Structure 1
Amino acid sequence: MYDPNSASAASGGRMGGRAFSSQSSSSSLSGSRGYSTRSASPGFSYSAPYYAPTPFGGGGFYMGPAFGVGVGAGSSLFLILMGFAAFMLVSGFLSDRSEGSVLTATGKTSVLKLQVGLLGMARSLQRDLNRIAENADTSTPEGLSYVLAETTLALLRHPDYCISAYSSADVKRSIEDGEKRFNQLSIEERGKFDEETLVNVNSIKRQSTTSQRASGFSNEYIVITILVAAEGVHKLPTINGSKDLKEALQKLGSIPASRIMAVEVLWTPQSENDTLSERELLGDYPLLRPL
């Protein structure tokens, strides 16, 4: 019979970081620059008032605004309004184009998730993750790229231990929506731990000294979850076998650092003396598919 008091709290490791705010500021700056360029185009621009001989004869001068068209002020205002309406119509048409369009891909954020179940004998992989978490600088995009590359490489080097996996890819229309989805997935996975015993997130490090005890189960497992938010449209293959898992790991590890907005790697158990039972595996990670 299972004794719930025979095992201590499930330990979990977590490393990574986020850079959504800097990416959002960069996008806003690009957008403002684009607006300034458009506002300077013919038909939408204004300049300082000018002086010219009056068109009504006699002496004196006529003063009026200089529009980007060679007609009167009333007609110019009408043309401006018509041009703005046409611009909004074209913008709406482009926004409804397929996701394969280059124009519609701009500003999109992909949120990727890869989850891998391993046999409990993969203790060397636990040690690899602990080492990465202790040494990585998770406050820079380069550091996040290092975490992602090293984690995917560690899994690629231990294919015999991998017994199940699951992948998903959500493409969001904005950075804000991507950040919201990434945070949702992170909270969901963290909630499966009773305690985060090793943390390195945005270079804020924490390690628990809580002693972990084995539960007595002979059938032990390890689960590693990789979350990535990246600029642009990215996809992962559906996991139906070891070949698909290998392809998914290679795709994640090859995402350029310049496109990475956030990375988070979570694994349980973090302590080598802790145990994840088959019952816990099936209950907490029901989407994992056998390889």
Structure 2
Amino acid sequence: MDKNTVNMLKRIGRVCRPLLAVALALILALAPVSTVWARSGGRIGGGSFRSPTFSAPRSAPVYPSYGGGFGFPLVVPFFWGGGGGLLTLLLLIGAGSFLVRSLRSAVSEDGDEGVADLPVTVAQVKVGLLASARQLQKDMNALALEADTQSPEGLSQLLQEVTLGLMRYSDYWAYGHAQAEKLPLSRAESLFYQASLQERSKFSAETLSNRNNQIQQVPQAVLKRAAAEIPDVGEYLVVTLLVAYRGNSGTLPVVKSAADLRQCLLQLASIPAERIVAIEVLWTPQLEGDTLSAEALLTEYPEMRLL
């Protein structure tokens, strides 16, 4: 394909993208409520790969020392009993300049580069439950409205509440999946948000969200109208847990049974608050009474295995 053809296709793509966006908006606006809301989704999350609260602890900078322990690169000639004149002044300026550059270099080497190379593990656990575990939807909705998602302690509590809630409904587990990957900080950040966007793209609408204590919810009148028109044909609920944390808490087992899935949840629940970098909990459907069909689950979550 020649260069002119490639450029022409790029121009067509730029023109078509806004039109496609408008068309999608019209479809969502005009489609029946039961169709639009068939895959409502909820999201709870917080943390940051850039915020100092969640960054790696930095050790105290090591300042260079040169002879005598005074931190100067040379011995300043103070002439007792009668000034050093211009020569002394110039030497003092030179020593101060060298010291400032050394301090900046030490802080930079011990801080930014160390954080950039810091290993972070990104773990994903997905649980597919039978639709008869409807109470879980109410539990997740209540947690979204109450959870503190802006502090390490709050995120740790969120992680424990979700894992504990899922284990309470272990009798309803039908499918499961888990994976974990240890990466440098920058790559871990990309993987985490890519996984989050991929899961959120499976929702027809994100009807409830709590991100860093910023709660967004579709008006109750709309939710009630939508819930009343949802056909009761679904069979499953899906909860996805994404956790980024410093260090390594062991490799998550391959999920082949309920026991494997329970082990994965226990490992994540045991991560200390100070090691948590970011968390996202996503579940679908979010609307009470809304459920996924078996076909939708197998299509959207092909990685999950039957337990």
State the TM bucket, normalised to the shorter chain: 0.7 to 0.9
Hey, which of these two has a bigger chunk of helix by percent?
A: 2
Amino acid at match of 2:192: F
Corresponding pairs, count: 244
Tell me: CA distance 1:110–1:214, structure 2 relative to 1, closer, same or farther (3 Å): same
Partner of 1:164: 175
Hey, which of these two has a bigger chunk of strand by percent?
A: 1
Partner of 1:205: 215
Amino acid at match of 2:171: D
Moved over 6 A (4+): none
Partner of 1:220: 235
Partner of 1:40: 65
Answering whether residue 39 of structure 2 is matched by residue 14 of structure 1, we say no
C-alpha RMSD of matched pairs (Å): 3.5
SS in 2 for 1:143: helix
SS in 1 for 2:51: helix
Offset, 1:223: 0.3
Partner of 2:253: 237
Offset, 1:22: 2.5
| CA distance in 2: counterparts of 1:182 and 1:20, whole angstroms | 10
Offset, 1:177: 2.0
CA contact (8 A) 2:121 2:182 kept: yes
Offset, 1:274: 1.5
Amino acid at match of 1:227: L
Partner of 2:142: 131
CA contact (8 A) 1:166 1:287 kept: yes
Q: Which moved more, 1:112-121 or 1:272-281?
A: 272-281
**Aligned pairs (5 A) from 1:143-162:** 143-162=154-173
Return the TM-score normalized by structure 1. Answer: 0.73
Q: Provide, for residues 65-95 of structure 1, a one-character-per-residue CA deviation record: whole Å limited to 9, x for no partner.
A: 9xxxxxxxxxxxxxxxxxxxxxxxxxxxxxx
- Name structure 2 gaps, 5 residues minimum: 1-30, 79-87, 92-113
Amino acid at match of 1:170: E
Amino acid at match of 2:217: Q
**Aligned pairs (5 A) from 1:1-291:** 7-9=35-37, 10-23=39-52, 26-27=55-56, 30=58, 33-34=60-61, 37=62, 39-40=64-65, 46-51=72-77, 107-174=118-185, 176-209=186-219, 210=222, 211-212=226-227, 213-217=229-233, 219-234=234-249, 235-291=251-307
| CA distance in 2: counterparts of 1:24 and 1:136, whole angstroms | 18
Partner of 1:73: none
Offset, 1:144: 0.9
Offset, 1:30: 1.9
Q: Provide, for residues 175-210 of structure 1, a one-character-per-residue CA deviation record: whole Å limited to 9, x for no partner.
A: x22221111111110000010111111000011133
| CA distance in 1: counterparts of 2:191 and 2:64, whole angstroms | 35
Offset, 1:24: 8.0
Amino acid at match of 1:288: M
| CA distance in 1: counterparts of 2:55 and 2:137, whole angstroms | 37
Q: Among the aligned pairs, what percent are the same residue?
A: 40
